Amino acid sequence: MHATPLDRHDGPDPGRELTLVGMNLVAGLWGLAEATLSFIVPDVWLSLASRRCLKTGLQACLWALASALAGGVLVYACYLAVMPG
């Protein structure tokens, strides 16, 4: 009887992979959180997405950028509402 490693996979596990929509959703939410709540940039997530596929990583990067810009606009609008004129 041979001993086979427990972590050996013959192919991708569909249950463990995120869809493209899931990748973009995480990137977008992370970008928004970075702009509004924290200073942790989504570089780690974008690196993981890019390892999967360059096109997926670039799309996630665009979602993170767009939501970070939206978060910046939101923070600026809140500032104007609190500190008028």
Residue 51, H or E segment: helix 43-52
Sort 24 into a burial class: Cβ within 10 Å, 0-12 / 13-18 / 19+. Answer: buried
Give me the half-sphere count of Cα atoms (radius 13 Å) on the Cβ side of residue 61. 12
- What the block records as the tokens of 82 is 């609190």
Give pLDDT < 70 ranges for the chain: 1-18, 39-41
Length of the chain: 85
State pTM to two decimals.
0.59
Q: Is 69 helix (H, G, I), strand (E, B) or coil?
A: helix
**Residues 42-57 pLDDT 10s:** 777 888 888 888 888 8
